Each structure stands twice: as structure tokens, then as C-alpha cells.
Structure 1
Amino acid sequence: MTTVSLSVPQAGELPEIGAVLDSWQSDSGPLHLHTGDLGWYSLRGAQATAQALRVWRFGEHIAAIGLLDGEDLLRLSIDPDLSDDDTLAQQIESDVIAASTAVFGPGAAVLEARGAIRLCDRLQARGWDADEPWTTMSRDLSLPVEDPGIRVEIAESDDAEVWTAIHWSAFRGVPYTADDRQRFVERWNEMMSGPFYSQAQSLLGYDDSGLPVAATTVWSAGPDRPGLIEPLAVDRDQQGHGYGKAIAFAAARSLQRLGSSSAAVATPSANTAAVAAYTSAGYVPGAEVRDLRRDG
């Protein structure tokens, strides 16, 4: 009987891991860990991204891929053909709860494992509880997508300062110092030259006066597979004017040109403004999903 092994990959293995993760994306399956999630994480560089990954194999076959998105959050995707496999679920469970820190250290931990049916059953039986709800949303790209109604341009490396400033404003809301700008621009360029960006595109949206007001990056998983929006941002001073809806249209059009079957995104259900913006842009909410949480 083939055993399940856990490893931390090398940076040179990232293209292979990305290709496997691409192959697991399907409109009929859950919105689980996507190659775009690895792409966005690669702001930290290829080596750091590899060190944050956990890969489970049956022999040479990659069976599950996890991203440690911080010390206490593992975002996991399992080969859809193995979602009910008890041998795989048992080994991942053992690694997740082990005191060896192969995955988590002691204390609180959160596991995102959408579609990993058997693993979730086992952890819930151990007392892991449901975490905060998320809303997954998807837009079918087999039909035409509306014009965003604003000027949208593909962001290149020369646009790094503008793109990162919008993201900082939307998600941080604190002064963007020169040191912050330098670090973020360097990391953004690291992402653009990284192993996952060849199937991605970053966009900038402008208002009627030519002021950049919105930014996003979209990630294709290859033709006829769901693409991911990660992230999408509207400058804090420009919110409330429909730019979120506009850039969500632009993101869908970009993924459509890249050959994606759908545009997918996940947002905390508590972020009602984001859910409303995506809904207004034709994204259809799915059933709420919850991660699993182990209290410290």
C-alpha cells in the first residue's frame, strides 16, 4: 500500500505545483486554494512561497497542497478524486494536529479546506469548530461581460507605485510612507517576475479626470477553468462611486480574454459592501462556507 508523505518543496518545484493546482480548478467544484493565491503570496519571493507550502504525496503523485498563509492559517486544496480518501485524510489530520510543528505550532489554528470532505469530517469529530463565514462568488464568462464604464489599463512594472498605493489605501488606511512604498513596490515587482504571473494580469481603473482609483489582479488557471480575482481594491477616498463594480467588470473581461470559464472570488460575508459590489457586477453568491478553527 502506498503511504502518504509530507514535504516542504523547493522553489524550483513551484511551476509543477502550480500546474497541478491549475488542474484541480473546476466550475463544478468548490473555490479552494487557487494558483492565484500562490501568486499573490509570491510577493514575498519564490523561496518564501516554497517554504510556506506543504505538499502531501501518494508516492510521486501530488495529492494535496497547502499554503501556510501566516503561522495559524493553512489553506488547503485536495485532488478532487481524493476528497473522500480516508488514508489521505487521516495522514493530513495527523500532520495538522501533531506537536511536531510540521504544519501548525501549539495553540489556535484555522484550516481552510473546501471540498476536503473526509478531512473536515475527521477534524470536526475532534472538536474543531466552524469559523467566520465567507461568501464565494462566481461570474459565468460564457456570455459577454459589460463594459466597465471607466478607462482600464493593464498595469506594467512602471505602474507599480500607483497600483500599490491604491491597494495600500484600500486595505491599510494609514499613511503610505516612503519606506512602505519602496518595500511594497519591490515585492510587487517580485510577484510580477515570479513563477505564477505568466497567467495573470494586473489592471488599473481611472476616473473621468484621469485619476487612478481602482486596482486588481486576476489569475488564470488555464483555458476553460475558473480564474481568480486576488486582490481587488478601490482607493479609500474614492469609494462609494461605483468603481468597485466597474473594476469587477474589468476583472471579468480580463479573465474572459485569458480563456477562463468563470471569474471567482471569495470575501468575508461580513464585508457586505464587497458582496454588494460583486453582486451588482453579475457575480452570483454561492452558499456560505466556513473554515475550521481550533481554539488555543
Structure 2
Amino acid sequence: MAITLGTPDGAGLSAAVGALRDWQDEGAPMQLHPGDLGWFWRFGADTTAAAVRTWSRDGRILAVGLLDGPGLLRMTIAPDARQDEELARRVVADVADPERDVLTPGAANIEAPMDALLQQMLAEHGWCGDEPWTPLRRDLRGEPVKESELRIEAVGAERVAERVAVQRAAFENSTFSREHWQAMAAGEMYADARCLIAYDDRSAAVAAVTVWSAGPGKPGLVEPMGVHRDHRGRGYGKAITEAAAAALQKLGSSSAIVATASSNVAGVATYKAAGFEARPEIRDMHREA
């Protein structure tokens, strides 16, 4: 059977999420996680579905991609299909042809598992490695995570304004809004997610995080974590990250994972301080304009 490229409807989106859940494993390289779609869901279910691409053979999904911004395709591949030559060739052809509605012409990046044949084939077609990212992991299968004494609260409807304010103050040019949080919280993946806020001793909201479970016994994702720009350098990033790990542990996750640009030295240091271990660097594949 030939491989088919698709953009899912509502039912198809659920199937894509299910495939992503199935592919999460402690032995897997850093890859697209259901939580990545969960965070993107802040733009609404229809927009999320329109940003997803699937590659299937005989009705089985072999690869899932998320168009996470202009010129960026974040994708992963079923473990037993990462050396599938037909699949790799089809993806390379699809991203090269704008009429197939995957990538627009010009500069672009593709994030894919480092052990996939796709990496080699993209290189053969002129793509090259981009700036390095550092994946980090904290094992959650042992003793309960010890949290800091900082006050940590779960976000519900009554705390949305504070969650939004921290996000916008933590990330330059963030457009996060109350409506975005509500759309995210209404998504099918948020049932296995937690949003947390850290408060200082004056009850100011100083940091926030959202975590996403992929199911019991699977790695859970930290996405995103941020500290309010007016409260940095006081250990709040470490505290909220420890709270994130504790929340994932309570959800049954086997580990907490995250990736940040290697150039973000402070971010890497924060995760390490919270008990995360750095793994080998990864790189997107980049196409020049």
C-alpha cells in the first residue's frame, strides 16, 4: 500500500494523539509529544487539526507532524518505521513540494528523531543541521519528588489571569491570553495535564508551568515553564520545575522531559538544578531560503 499524507478532522486528530501516546517510551529519543499538541491547542481544536499532518500506510499512522509556526515542522515517527525508506522518501518529497501543503517555499526547519532515516535523506537533499538543543530528563520512578517550600497552586478558572500574566512576563512577545488558556483547558489532552503557579512570600505570582502526561509509565512533558521577568535570579525556576516533576509523578509519568536551546545556558542550568540530567544534544534539519 502507498503512503498517504493527510490533514486530520476531529476524529483523525484524536487518532494522531493516540499514536503519539503509543510512541512515547523511556528508550525513545526526544520527540514530538502529545503535550506539544496540547499546548498548541490554545489556538483551538480546528486550528490544531489544521496544523497536524499524518503519514499513513494501509490505515496505520506511521508519522505525525505539527506545523508549529512558519517554516517549522515538528514530527516523530513510529519506532518500527524510523528506518522505513519509503516513508522517508515520501516525507522528503512532501516537504519539498509547496502544493502538498506541508511547508511553504523558503527557509524551513524540521524536527525529527535523531535515529530516523529521514535525517540522512534530508541531508542528501541539501538540508543541514541547525543550532543545537539540549534534551533533559528527570527519572520519576523512585522516591517521591521533594518539592520546595514555595507556595504552589494549581490553575483553575479563578487563577487564569495570573497564569496569563506570568506567561506574558516570562516570554518576550507572548500573545497568551485568557481565551487561549480556556481553549487549551477544553482540549482532550488537558485531562492529563496540570497548570501550576508559584507565589513568593508576598503572594505575588512569580513563575508558572504546564505539564502533560502521556499516560502511566510513559515520559511526561514540561511545556512551557517560565519565570516572571521581575522575579528572576531567586530560585523560582528551580522551585516551579520541581513542582512540575512532582505533578507528573502523581500523574503516573515515568520521567519528566523537556528540551531547550543549548544557547539558553540559564535555562539548562535551572533544569539541572531541579534534578534533570542533560542528554546528548539534538538538532533540527534546516533548509536555506
Residue aligning to 1:212: 205
Superposed CA deviations along residues 160-198 of structure 1, whole A, max 9, x for unmatched, are 110010010010279xxxxx6xx7101111100112111
Superposed CA deviations along residues 111-159 of structure 1, whole A, max 9, x for unmatched, are 0002452111001011211111100000000122122221111111221
Which portions of structure 1, spanning 4 or more consecutive aligned residues, are displaced by more than 4 angstroms?
A: none
Amino acid of the structure 2 residue aligned with 1:258: L
Q: Which of 253, 261, 271 is the matching residue for 1:268?
A: 261
- SS in structure 1 at match of 2:280: strand
**Residues 46 and 195, structure 1, Cα contact 8 Å, conserved in 2:** no
Residue aligning to 2:172: 172
For the residues of structure 2 that align with 1:124 and 1:173, how far apart are their CA atoms? Answer: 33
For the residues of structure 1 that align with 2:178 and 2:171, how far apart are their CA atoms? Answer: 16
Q: How far has the Cα of 1:8 moved from its partner? A: 0.5
Q: How far has the Cα of 1:71 moved from its partner? A: 2.4
CA RMSD of aligned residues (A): 1.3
Amino acid of the structure 2 residue aligned with 1:27: E
Amino acid of the structure 2 residue aligned with 1:222: G
- SS in structure 2 at match of 1:276: helix
Q: Which of 238, 241, 257 is the matching residue for 2:231?
A: 238
**Residues 14 and 195, structure 1, Cα contact 8 Å, conserved in 2:** no
Residue aligning to 1:229: 222
Amino acid of the structure 2 residue aligned with 1:136: P
For the residues of structure 1 that align with 2:258 and 2:81, how far apart are their CA atoms? Answer: 24
For the residues of structure 2 that align with 1:92 and 1:278, how far apart are their CA atoms? Answer: 34
For the residues of structure 2 that align with 1:116 and 1:17, how far apart are their CA atoms? Answer: 21
For the residues of structure 1 that align with 2:70 and 2:162, how far apart are their CA atoms? Answer: 30
Residue aligning to 2:163: 163
For the residues of structure 2 that align with 1:139 and 1:282, how far apart are their CA atoms? Answer: 6
Superposed CA deviations along residues 28-68 of structure 1, whole A, max 9, x for unmatched, are 01110000000000010000000000000011101000000
**Residues 210 and 244, structure 2, Cα contact 8 Å, conserved in 1:** yes
Q: Which runs of 5+ in 1 are unaligned?
A: 175-179
Amino acid of the structure 2 residue aligned with 1:250: A
Q: Which runs of 5+ in 2 are unaligned?
A: none
**Residues 78 and 116, structure 1, Cα contact 8 Å, conserved in 2:** no
- SS in structure 2 at match of 1:287: coil
Q: Share of identical aligned residues, percent?
A: 43
For the residues of structure 2 that align with 1:173 and 1:221, how far apart are their CA atoms? Answer: 29
Q: 1:157 to 1:116 in 2, by over 3 A?
A: farther
Residue aligning to 1:146: 146
**Residues 173 and 236, structure 1, Cα contact 8 Å, conserved in 2:** no
Residue aligning to 1:34: 33
**Residues 114 and 282, structure 2, Cα contact 8 Å, conserved in 1:** no
For the residues of structure 2 that align with 1:35 and 1:226, how far apart are their CA atoms? Answer: 10
For the residues of structure 1 that align with 2:13 and 2:162, how far apart are their CA atoms? Answer: 29
Q: Tell whether 2:279 aligns with 1:286.
A: yes
For the residues of structure 2 that align with 1:30 and 1:269, how far apart are their CA atoms? Answer: 17
Q: How far has the Cα of 1:256 moved from its partner? A: 0.1
For the residues of structure 2 that align with 1:56 and 1:191, how far apart are their CA atoms? Answer: 25
Count of aligned residue pairs for this structure pair: 288
